[in-house]
Amino acid sequence: MDGGVTVITNPTVSVRLTSTISSFEANRRFSRGITVAEFKSKLEMIVGIPHSCMELELYSTSDKFLQKLDNNEALLGSYHVDDDCRIHVTDRSGTHSGEFDDVSKVEKFEISDEAYDKRADSVRNFKKNMRLGRFNEENTAKQQETSAKKEEEEKAAADAIAVGNRCKVQVPGQPTKIGTVMFVGLADFKPGLWVGVKYDEPLGKNDGSVNGKRYFECEAKYGAFVKPLSVTVGDFPEEDYGLDEM
């Protein structure tokens, strides 16, 4: 023994890969025993740059520039390549950065509705054959009938509700709330008839306005909009919370 120290180096190394044509970072393991030329050939399938157009830069684990990998005949392990270091690949072929990320440059396949309707292998044709969705006339008729009936019920319920009425609101899955009707009619935020209610307690979702449009006035969290069928009008006095008690 001569007292010397033998350093055993891991035969493989894990590196982070970035490139000028992609915003994504890849992580791969390579043999330290391959040449830089062989390394470039392996990178070609990962970063999408021809190996003949690559320029490689080596960065430390903290992303500090160390050196260029510019000797194709040198072994990868002859450079200061450590686990979790970064190798940046610059494309010298003239390809622009982000070339493969910009989907706006991808030509879109378009087909006319008439031509699509004639295709036997389309989703539409499958639904027709299986009588699914709107192609099931019986189910469609039932859905339309149910929808029309519900609209009639909601209109009848809305006609029986007037601004100023005291009311009870019962929405499935929520506690019963007491308040005053402040609005009845159509709204811009969703189709159908709606009832705007000012609750006696801060159990609502707004102040009488939705998406910047005001339908009535009340304090924040005291206002809400519910469907007419969830509203029952009647003599519902305000709760006495004992605020006047000594």
Cβ pair 234, 166 in contact under 8 A: yes
d(CA 226, CA 93): 62
pLDDT of residue 218: 96
pTM for the model stands at: 0.45
pLDDT of residue 143: 81
* Domain coverage including residue 50: 12-91
d(CA 193, CA 99): 50
pLDDT digits over 114-172, tens only?
888 888 888 888 887 887 777 777 777 788 888 889 899 999 999 999 999 999 999 98
Domain boundary among 45, 63, 91: 91
Cβ pair 207, 182 in contact under 8 A: no
| Pairing of the two strands 85-91 and 177-186 | unpaired
User: Of 94-98, 115-119, 136-140, 179-183, where does mean pLDDT reach its minimum?
Assistant: 94-98
Domain boundary among 91, 125, 142: 91
- Confirm whether 195 is domain-assigned: yes
Strand-pair partners of 178: 168
Domain boundary among 62, 91, 120: 91
Q: Choose among 81, 72, 80: nearest CA to 28.
A: 81
- Confirm whether 242 is domain-assigned: no
**Mean pLDDT of the region 108-119:** 81
More confident residue, 98 or 156: 156
Strand-pair partners of 62: none
- Environment class of residue 67 by beta-carbon count within 10 Å: exposed (0-12), middle (13-18) or buried (19+)? exposed
Residue 103's pLDDT band (boundaries 50, 70, 90)? Answer: low
Q: Choose among 153, 176, 166: nearest CA to 227.
A: 153
pLDDT digits over 192-228, tens only?
999 999 999 999 999 999 999 999 999 999 999 999 9
pLDDT digits over 27-86, tens only?
999 999 999 999 999 998 888 889 889 999 999 999 999 999 999 999 998 998 999 999
Residue 13's pLDDT band (boundaries 50, 70, 90)? Answer: very high
pLDDT of residue 205: 94
Cβ pair 185, 194 in contact under 8 A: yes
> Looking at the 3D structure of the chain, how many domains does it have?
2
- Confirm whether 187 is domain-assigned: yes
Which CATH number do you get for residue 38?
Answer: 3.10.20.90
Which CATH number do you get for residue 182?
Answer: 2.30.30.190
Q: Which two tokens stand for residue 140?
A: 């469609």
- Confirm whether 136 is domain-assigned: no
Identity of residue 95? T
Cβ pair 197, 184 in contact under 8 A: no
More confident residue, 24 or 13: 13
Q: Which two tokens stand for residue 164?
A: 């100023």
Cβ pair 28, 16 in contact under 8 A: no
Please state, as a whole number, how many other Cβ atoms lie within 10 Å of the Cβ of residue 176.
9
